[in-house]
Chain A
Amino acid sequence: MTPATDHNKFCGNSSPQLVAMIGQPNVGKTSLFNQLCGLRARTSNIPGTTVDARIGRAGHTSMIDLPGTWAINLDQPEATVVRKCLAGDLPETFRPDVVLVVLDASNLQRGLHIAIEAMSFGRPCVVALNMVDVAQRRGFEVDPQRLSTWLGCDVIPTCGRTGQGIRKLTTAIGRARVSVATLPTIDDPAAKTTWVDGVIRESIPAASSTTHDRLGDRLDVAFTHPILGVAVFLAVMAGLFWTIFEFAGVPMELIELIFGHVGGWLAAVLPEGAIRDLLVDGIVGGLAGTVVFLPQILMLFFLIALLEDTGYLARAAFVMDRLLRHFGLPGQAFVPMLSAHACAIPAIMSARLIPDRRDRLAVILVAPFLSCSARLPVYVLLIGVLFAEQPAIAGLIFAACYAFGIVAALGSALLVRKTLLRGRTRPMMLELPAYQWPSLKSALLVCWDRGWLFIRKAGTVILGMVIVLWWLTAYPKPPADMAPPPIDTIITESADATPMNPMAWSFAGQIGRGVQPLFDPLGWDWQVSVGVMTSFAAREVFVSTMAVLVAGHDDMDDPDVLHRIETATNDDGTPMLGTASAASLLVFFVLAMQCLPTLAVTAREAGGWKWAVLQFAWMTAVAWLAAWITFQSVSGWS
């Protein structure tokens, strides 16, 4: 669309202030919205609800893409939001002047029922007869003029994927009017069905004959097969994660390099002091640690959007429903749960795919149990300590850590669905849409939307939290003329290298020593407790903290550092990371919620900090208990 037409999108008598788009799932509503608004859109929460909607600008008009619903009168959150919006029960900014009803041209029978419902609210309406390309391929030829006569409003054939009909649609929206047709009352299902049947007979020429999608049939035989379907699903997911890890690595390194240069430049130009420390270590360091995940997030959402567009994702949900249903989770939960193995943040954000709120909350709460990539350095360190000379067993334990996380996540999901989120699990009622080529433009727009959402979060809440945590680990500084605290003198391996360890003086260090009695039953020394406390910003910080505490620096390229951590001793001369304490620490890191940014995203996506607090409390309690059992068992056994 050219800029000239862009400014005059709605060229009727007057531009409406707000156009609300409604439609059933899989009718191409979002593609149409993207054609109308492009990048000028954002995802916002609808006030007073837990439902999000895309809000954008098309010329001088605001557009709102309401959640897809099968009918407006259903007792479901999505339908309630649509009903409130059309009735004018939402705040002023959500009261539409025009309702754009999006129908699937190849499935008119079903769509006309929701069109009647929408028109019963008495607002000016326009109908977009979308996906006309699919309808033509299937042999449907709908007469829009006849349909327009029946409905009493403009009916415009469109194709959201290609942009066909967008210009006519914007013109029709500009001159939208309240339907003047005699429509059946929505309270009389029989009359509605009779009316719809009549409209179908009149609007679809008798010569129009449908063709069966034989390729779709064949693909469904494979993709929904109990065994072959799971194999295809695993192959697709393996390909998805291979792509993410293969291609996200370079931009991630680039981000680290850029932030490293910025930090280095600031350190060079600013005078030494608190301001420099705040900027370099707090803000730049904190942002780098969060923004580094952006490439993974963008790639994950891009690939998921492509898969969803092809129609495969619905088949994958169908296949996985058989397994996940036993744990109170729907088939759609597999995407967030798999994504969580890369990073819990995009995983929790991708839980938006799940339509039912209780299901979605359950997935958000348990996703961080699954072993993310930030846990890897800790696993490597601790498994290295436990099984240094036994690579085969080390490999098995590595796999067991992942399995343990999965078991904890599924077990917790079952528990939360039977207690806090009790209620009827929405049974599988899933449309398997027709297969089609994905739209690159739509996938890129989804990618942009999710990426921007993450950047906003990283630049506000997460940054604030990371700065606070940095301050706790950096202050107070040890006095220059004062002897090191007595506790430091017991770092036997590194006493000569680190006569004064700043970390031990910091608030985090003090907290670590303060909470030591809590961690004592797990067999941890105060140094380990400090490492656990500081790793709350991000799990991988544990290894560098231990390196600083034990070896005096965190240069992990120094081969001596890992050796020093592995051989460091406690106050009483026993190994700091003995078999039992290292095992309990490993179990703790598999299960504990040691990630501040994830908690912030949980609060945002779940709709309140109470869910983040619950997630933290539950995961920490489970991790502590499992670590204690491990310590007691291994101590007794060895």
Chain B
Amino acid sequence: MSTTLDCLSPGVTATITVTSGSDADLLRAMGLREGTDVTVRRIGEPCIVESGNTRLGLARCVTSNVHVTPHG
């Protein structure tokens, strides 16, 4: 089941399938590449996500462009 990062609940881990939008290159450079796992730490505007050792504060307009497949 594919969804976007802003729709996940806190604690849920997912695999990034597509990163789109005008900030896609920056997001990839920050570590959110296709194929990597990401965990939501705090929801809201902005939200906090974690990927590997990177913890990022992201606006909703950014996370809504990150398509993911939740684990489990």
Contact = CB atoms under 8 A, between A and B. Distances in A.
B59 A427 contact: yes
A107 B53 CA distance: 6
B32 to A, nearest CB: 10
B29 A431 contact: no
Contact of B62 (A76, A193, A210, A427): A427
Q: Chain B interface residue count: which class?
A: 20 to 34
Interface stretch (A109-117, A395-403, A444-452): A109-117
Contacts of A193: 33, 35
B53 A138 contact: yes
Contacts of A71: 25-26, 28-29
B46 A109 contact: no
Nearest to A197: B35
Interface in A360-380: none
A436 interface: no
Given A210-B53, A220-B41, A321-B57, A432 B48 contact: yes
Contacts of B55: 216, 220, 431-434
Contacts of A107: 31, 52-54
B26 A429 contact: yes
B59 A431 contact: no
A76 B26 CA distance: 10
Interface in B47-63: 48, 52-59, 61-62
Contacts of A432: 48, 55-57
Contacts, number: 90
Nearest to B56: A431
B35 A110 contact: no
Contacts of A321: 46, 57, 59
Interface in A401-452: 424, 427-434
A113 B29 CA distance: 8
Contacts of A431: 30, 54-57
A115 to B, nearest CB: 12
A24 B41 CA distance: 23
B27 interface: yes
Interface in A316-333: 317-318, 321-322, 325
A224 B42 contact: yes
Nearest to A430: B57
B31 to A, nearest CB: 4
Contacts of A74: 25-26, 29
Given A189-B28, A321-B46, 16 more contacts: A24-B29, A110-B54, A193-B35, A216-B55, A217-B41, A220-B48, A226-B44, A317-B57, A318-B57, A427-B58, A428-B46, A428-B58, A429-B57, A429-B58, A431-B30, A432-B55
Interface of B: 22-23, 25-31, 33, 35, 41-42, 44-46, 48, 52-59, 61-62
The 7 closest A-B pairs by CB, nearest first: A71-B29, A70-B29, A427-B59, A428-B59, A430-B57, A318-B57, A432-B55
8 contacts: A71-B29, A107-B54, A110-B54, A427-B62, A429-B23, A429-B26, A431-B57, A433-B55
